[in-house]
Amino acid sequence: MVWSGIDPVALQLGPVAIHWYGLMYIAGFFATWYLVRLQLKQAGLWETRVSNEAYEGLFTTLILGVILGGRIAYVLFYNFGYYIDHPLEALYIWQGGMSFHGGMIGPLVTGWWYCRKHDLPFLELADRFFTVAPLGLMFGRIGNFINGELWGRTTDVPWGMVFPHAGPDPRHPSQLYEMALEGLLLFIILWLVRKQVWPAGARVAIFLTGYAVARIFCENFREPDEQLGFLFGSVTMGMLLSSAMLIVGLAWLARLWLGRRGEPFSGG
């Protein structure tokens, strides 16, 4: 199969170009905003523990955390040598360069700060956000695919694709693998079990574990970042960061399972 070369620009309005990648971000944020709100209503937390005003403020704070965390982690872990010589360009987020792992840690930090400041139930809210976070990942990977970036390794499988700027050889469409596993499948699992009674924080731990397993698997088909290559053996930076994430997720689940800590809350 040959890459069809979808135009990354969805709509051109004079000098203003609206990119599919930006639209995917908007779709992910909107889906998260709506589905978390729905869960809070189903659980009876809307307007009892979480007001509309507090929710809007929290959501804005989380978006800021995603952007800052994603960019800072990319600079530190994926291209530090370049940005140490060009420090001002670390601020040029419109040029691309975001790390998922930083984009996860950022909103956890900013969300914890906001919830503490406004007396909101942090873990209960985090559980709801992490239940639908895979949808944002799904939309993001679709954006990567349309942009023809983060392509896979060379392959002879029938569905291999030739990507622009990646040479003439067919490659794994690893963006679609990640979309399906880190995004759609993980979302389906978390959404189907959302009404079960879990200890607070359990769904965050399930997300961390599920995402890490999916990402480590998909990294076996994804071309390593050009500026990094393999760190050692066949290990990539994505594998290394996801392994740390997996350890945290499994340790969290073990603590909840063995210690029965955290007060249960109703699903929704």
CB contact at 8 A, 124 and 118 = no
CB contact at 8 A, 69 and 109 = yes
| Cα 25 from Cα 145, distance rounded (Å) | 14
3-state secondary structure of 198: strand
The model's pTM is 0.89
State the amino acid at position 32 in one-letter form: T
Alpha helices in the chain (DSSP H): 20-42, 52-73, 80-85, 100-118, 122-147, 174-178, 186-192, 202-219, 237-259
The pLDDT, as a whole number, for residue 74 is 86
The pLDDT, as a whole number, for residue 154 is 95
CB under 8 Å to 23, separation ≥6 — which residues?
A: 10, 143
CB contact at 8 A, 43 and 105 = no
| Cα 16 from Cα 200, distance rounded (Å) | 45
pLDDT by position in tens, the chain (length 268): 555 567 878 888 888 888 888 899 899 999 999 999 999 999 999 999 999 999 999 999 999 999 899 889 888 888 888 888 888 878 777 666 778 888 899 999 999 999 999 999 999 999 999 999 999 999 989 988 988 888 999 999 999 999 988 888 999 999 999 999 999 999 999 999 888 888 889 999 999 999 999 999 999 999 998 888 898 889 999 999 999 999 999 999 998 888 764 455 445 6
The pLDDT, as a whole number, for residue 260 is 62
CB contact at 8 A, 177 and 159 = no
| 37 labelled binding-site residue | no
Of 127, 172, 166, 155, the closest CA to residue 267 belongs to 127
